[in-house]
Structure 1
């Protein structure tokens, strides 16, 4: 428990919200916490406790809270769900307990498999899979790696989800996996709730939720800092938890669009196979509007076109003023030269 509470990402954000320290003191505290953690625990232990802690904080606790709202305040939740009453989770305590048990089992399975893969890779390479150094990663390096990880997650999720878990003409193996995925994850045709993020058959769950996150990180071995992986892992967990909640009040047009497409996928599993909808838009498998419509709505919401035109006008005005000033300077210089020549 002390290791879980000492994960520096959590302590860093809590310190900024609970105190009035300056940014430099927060960074110093963050660095000291991370350094102490690295020097006192093995990289594998930090990785496993860190990922489990992120799953608990950003998926399990919010999912149970959403489930309480859905079951204790159904009239309120109904008005906030994409599919209304049909999107509410079952009120059967036994069914909910089974779903929770399956979700906890998959969380445990994911952690065990991650530990085995990390341990095996570390033994084979004679080094930890992630760079668990006391030196913090540079912001540009973190942004580049996170962008690569999210892009790889989108590609893997789409093609695994579409061609294995929802294969139109499946082989014998994919037919079994698709049937298991349909029986567990799509046992009802309605908008999902966040607990369903982990409530799937174990093998389809690993293919759908674990492989797209962990495999790209595995391919970036020894180049990826553990803090960068934690940030990517936490952002992915937050996104999946919110967008599978089924609520219409998920903030942001982009996130709201992902939530809407997830709701349609669970209601009609013939499209919306990706995470963000980019490959669905490219392959024509979007249901209920694609990601480009969300981007257009976001641009209209923030008046991007008007702001761009205003910025262009201002830039053009500054350039024109600079040209006119240069011309005036040359004319004044010519006049002074002529005046000096005349006086001689």
Structure 2
């Protein structure tokens, strides 16, 4: 518990809500917390507890809340669910309890597997798997590593999902049996980890963890990548039609279409490779982004912002000319 509470990610996001410190003081507090954590705990402990904390806070807790909402207020939930009442979880207490237990067991198994891989890699490399130092990663380095990890994740997710989880092998049969019910509807967030451990490893663990093993970013960058992907996966599996954002709303609809179509397509996380390979179900990513941009009036807002910026620049130039003319008149009169 002391490791979770001392995680700099938690303290960094909590500080603005609890205090009125400036940004510089928040960064200083973030650095001091991270330094204390690195000096007082082993890199392996920080990695495992931090990863587990991210998954609990940003997947398990929200998914249980969504599940309660869907089952306790189904009439309200179905109005904001993709595919309506068909997407409401079955109100069977024993079935839902088994599903919750399976998801928690999978979370524990993945944490244990990650621990084994990290211990083996550390002993082989004679240094921690991720860069765990008091020096914080540079912003450009974070952006570069996150972009690389996301690209690798999209590639692995698409090809593993399409050619292993939806082929004719034993892993595919387990995935269909556990993850795809007979009901053609959108999923709910608890189903993110409610799958057989073997197909779940190909679907959720390897596309995120394997690229991280190759890139070996700073541990803070890995935590950020874990946080972003966990939030994305939780929202995309929620099945809600009110998910905000031009990109995130489309990901949620494509995930729902994947389950509703009984896995006829939409195998990638973002839908880019589905568009390239022609395996999109419903709107592909290009049409979806275009429609969402039109709905949110992105073009009009961009033109308005450009016009406002141009007006400000013109006003500044006019004021500068006026001040120069005033100085010139004063110098001529003197």
TM-score by length of 2: 0.89
Does residue 36 (structure 1) correspond to residue 36 (structure 2)? The answer is yes
C-alpha distance in structure 2 between counterparts of 1:113 and 1:240, whole Å: 20
Q: Name the structure 2 match of 1:144.
A: 144
C-alpha distance in structure 1 between counterparts of 2:70 and 2:88, whole Å: 6
Structure 2 residues not aligned, in runs of 5+: 318-334
Tell me which of 233, 236, 251 is aligned to 1:258. 251
Does residue 208 (structure 1) correspond to residue 203 (structure 2)? The answer is yes
Q: Give the match's secondary structure for 2:16.
A: helix
Q: Name the structure 2 match of 1:48.
A: 48
The answer to whether the 8 A contact 2:250-2:289 is kept is: no
Q: Name the structure 2 match of 1:78.
A: 78
Q: Name the structure 2 match of 1:130.
A: 130
Q: Name the structure 2 match of 1:282.
A: 276
The CA deviation string for residues 162-214 of structure 1, in whole angstroms up to 9 with x for no partner, is: 001112xx3xxxx1111100000002332100000000010000010000000
C-alpha distance in structure 2 between counterparts of 1:18 and 1:298, whole Å: 35
The CA deviation string for residues 122-155 of structure 1, in whole angstroms up to 9 with x for no partner, is: 1000000100010100111101100110111100
C-alpha distance in structure 1 between counterparts of 2:256 and 2:298, whole Å: 28
The CA deviation string for residues 70-93 of structure 1, in whole angstroms up to 9 with x for no partner, is: 011000001110011110111111
C-alpha distance in structure 1 between counterparts of 2:188 and 2:115, whole Å: 28
Does residue 91 (structure 1) correspond to residue 82 (structure 2)? The answer is no
The CA deviation string for residues 229-265 of structure 1, in whole angstroms up to 9 with x for no partner, is: 0000000000000110000011112111111111111
TM-score by length of 1: 0.86
The CA deviation string for residues 44-73 of structure 1, in whole angstroms up to 9 with x for no partner, is: 000000000000000000000000100110
Does residue 271 (structure 1) correspond to residue 265 (structure 2)? The answer is yes
C-alpha distance in structure 2 between counterparts of 1:309 and 1:232, whole Å: 33
Count matched residues.
310
Q: Structure 2 matches for 1:292-331, cutoff 5 A?
A: 292-306=286-300, 311=306
Pair member with larger Rg: 1
Q: Name the structure 2 match of 1:243.
A: 236
Q: Structure 1 pair 303/76, CA: closer, same or farther in 2 (3 Å)?
A: closer
The alpha carbon displacement at 1:306 in A equals: 4.8
CA RMSD of aligned residues (A): 1.9
Q: Give the match's secondary structure for 1:273.
A: coil
